[in-house]
Structure 1
Amino acid sequence: MKNLKTFITGLIALLVLNISQAQEIKPSEVKKVMKRVADWQIEHFRDTYSNKKEPHHPLDWTNGALYTGMIKWAAMADDDTYYNWLKHIGETNNWNLYKRKYHADDHTVGQMYIELYRKYGDEKMIKPTKEQFEFILYHPSISVLNWKTPYAQDRWNWCDALFMSPPVWAQLYNLTGEKKYLDFMMAEFKASTNFLFDKKENLYYRDERYFDRLDNDLKIFWSRGNGWVFGGLVNIMNELNQNTKEYKYFLNIYKKMAKKILELQTPEGHWAMSLLQQDFYPTPETSGSSFFVFGLAWGINNNILNKDTYLPAVQKGWHTLVSHVTDDGMLGYVQPIGAEPGKAWADKTEVYGTGAFLSAGSEVYKLYNNRQ
């Protein structure tokens, strides 16, 4: 009897979820939930998650990833509150990147600085970023991509890095027209992809340590890690001319990943923390899922992905993400800082999850606003 009641309860929950996912998305509702999430995150900006004793530094990659989404929301918002908040962060930190000169994580905040420069035209916003990248151009790392070699992370030898640093190089190229930025980015991105991309699965390993590892007799492809790459591809392609060979290189990877990502969406609308292992990782995870919704919606908006094929996945994914936003605006089920599939909880979040959610919302809003 108890098992029957459990089955009926689960069936009712699934039916309710399916009904909600079938409902048309309203652009006004997308903006409303984005505002709620952005406001909650700003209010709780210095709170700590991922079992850390101290808040993340404002220039840390965690917050840099938040800013990439927050700057997209700022462009949609009805006032300058969010631009002013981001400007204050830049001003307080003298527009510097974070402490490691070569490390991709510490470049992430540069994406936000360049977007602010585009709005305000103040050279000081991008001067330190340009100077640091000039140094890297003329003193490139000679390390190899193998995980435990000296100074290995001075290059992009883990897939998260492809979200963090390459878009900044692409932005600088677009901003200045100087091809040296593009050439460096292309060479390093290709090296990383040749190293980390599984051509059979069309997914990226997190790093070399996972090449031969299996979990439940299956390859390990971390959801958020591939989300970092998928979101990074979008942010790079936004900076490039669609008729160039460089754009087409990224587009080719993007299309392969999009097809695979579509196949791997769970019936509930999220993506499993280990992408090939839905049965073993049933817990929702919203940071990776947000990046996938972001990237798929962008593809439809840019007439790259077939709307009839991909729109249901975006719609189902967005409804699922929103279902994990609390009434006061906290996005739950964000996996803590890590490098592989793990655990997530309804009452735990992280700033990078908020950034991914806001990025997703920016493209979902465009998608449904254009349909009205």
Structure 2
Amino acid sequence: MKRRTLLSASAALGATVSLGVGAAPAGAAPSDQLPSRAEVLAAMARVNDYWIGTHANPGDNGWARATYFSGNMAHYRLTRDARYLNYAVAWAEQNGYNLIGGAATRFADNHCAGQVYLDLYQELGGASKIAVIEDSLTRMVNSTKRDDWWWVDALHMAMPPFARLGALRGNTNYWLAMYQLYHHTKRLQLDTAGRATGLYSEATPLWYRDNGYAIDGPQQFSSNGLPMYWSRGNGWAVAAHAKVLQWIPLSNKRGPEYANTLRSMAAALAPLQRSDGFWNSNLGDPAHFGGPETTGTAFHAYGIAYGIRTGLLDRAAYLPIVARAWNGMLATAVRADGFLGYCQPVGAAPAPTDASQTADYGVGAFLLAGTEIAALTA
């Protein structure tokens, strides 16, 4: 549960990382032109093959590894390389196609594995692959409780399987329940004073990680007195909207809201991109742990690239942003052997990162971004 503990240590770290110290200057500006499709595929293979080669045990079914496998399955669908599918099958079988907490769980993190089970069901069939995730989400649909998702990460973990099951079963009750849960997080989540403010700031428009970081929350400001908009937290939101829009048409009553929120976030993120292609760990303060951070950057690139590909975002305006993000990650975060660095560790707020830090969810985000970027190349 350490992920759910607000990082009180961030205040102490902030005291030593002042405006002039620790704010890493942006590196050389990367190209705003996309590489060739072959080059994108080669970079993806290098990173994914390194991960698989150094992780013979595919791991547990928690949110972090499930996020990796979501990216791995996207990579498989792009390349049809059986190694990636086989690795995912080994992971799913090792975990019995189950969820942490079983079908009774309502905790969004536990539902993230269901995204991959649904991917495998699409590829291989077998109703048992999705029996637990379907049972779990159906229980939530059939209840009236709609305040489960109190942190922004939950949107990425749980919205995609709700959206996909609704499409798979032709049952819009999944979409309705998902929207009600989403709406509570976005608009009705209580702040620390008990007011229904939600986690989405219309003014920015970005998301607070949870009500501790919202206006009047105890962690409202960085050490420099600026707002706390966690990059990866907003990345979770960007990715959630992109994944949901793959299954919910714009003709659906709520489709335009998801699309417009993705558009608004992309517009907010564009001017916050660093000259080296990355986004800071804190989007609200360029000097608060200023420096490259891969996980948020990869998720932002994924969502914006998805928006370009599907016509939600203007290609001329946003393609250079995606290109700089991808080229920046290749120049700074991807080692020659495929190790992916500058991945902020598990947490709930902005934090320092360095080249030695990698993470399964970071690799997953990179692969998701690469899959969408490959579709934009000539």
TM-score by length of 1: 0.87
Q: Cα deviations across residues 116-170 of structure 1 (Å, max 9, x unaligned)?
A: 111112111111111122222334547x5xxxxxxxxxx1000000000011100
Q: What is the aligned partner in structure 2 of residue 331 from structure 1? A: 340
Q: Which amino acid letter does the alignment assign opposite residue 113 of structure 1? A: Y
Residues 1-372 of structure 1 correspond to what in structure 2 (within 5 A)?
14=27, 17-18=28-29, 20-22=30-32, 24-45=34-55, 58-99=60-101, 101-141=105-145, 155-194=148-187, 195-211=198-214, 212=216, 213-215=220-222, 216-323=224-331, 324-368=333-377, 372=378
Gaps of 5+ in 1: 1-9, 48-55, 145-154
Q: Secondary structure at the match of 1:289?
A: helix
List per-residue Cα deviations over 1:75-128 (Å, max 9, x = no partner): 122421111111111122221112260110010010011111111121111111
Q: CA deviation at 1:39?
A: 1.0
Aligned partner letter, 2:271: E
Query: Could you say which structure has the greater relative contact order, defined with CA pairs below 8 angstroms and 6 or more residues apart?
Result: 2
SS of the residue corresponding to residue 217 of structure 1 reads coil
RMSD, matched Cα: 1.9
Counterpart Cα distance in 2 of 1:236 and 1:24: 26
Gaps of 5+ in 2: 1-23, 188-197
Going by fraction, where is helix more abundant, 1 or 2? 1
DSSP-derived class of the 1:21 partner: coil
Give the counterpart letter for 1:275 in structure 2. Answer: L
CA distance in 2, matches of 1:268, 1:93: 39
Q: Secondary structure at the match of 1:165?
A: helix
Aligned-partner residue type, residue 132 of structure 1: S
Distance 1:172 1:23 in 2: 37
Aligned in 2, Cα 1:157/1:263: closer, same or farther, shift over 3 Å? same
The one-letter code matched in structure 1 to 2:367 is L
What residue in structure 2 maps to residue 147 of structure 1? none
Q: CA separation of 1:78/1:219 partners in 2, compared to 1, >3 Å: closer, same or farther?
A: same
Length-normalised TM-score, structure 2? 0.85
The match for 2:8 is none
Letter in 2 for 1:228: W
For residues 178-220 of structure 1, the C-alpha deviation after alignment (integer angstroms, 9 at most, x for no partner) is 1211111011101101110011111000001111211112110
| Aligned-partner Cα distance in 2 for 1:351–1:275 | 22
| AA in 2 matched with 1:342 | A
Partner of 2:190: none
Q: Distance in 2 between matches of 1:307 and 1:270?
A: 19
State the number of aligned residues: 337
Q: Deviations over 1:21-78 (max 9, x none)?
A: 145411101001101111111122379xxxxxxxx95101100111111110011224
Alignment check: 8 A CA contact 2:32 2:321 kept: no
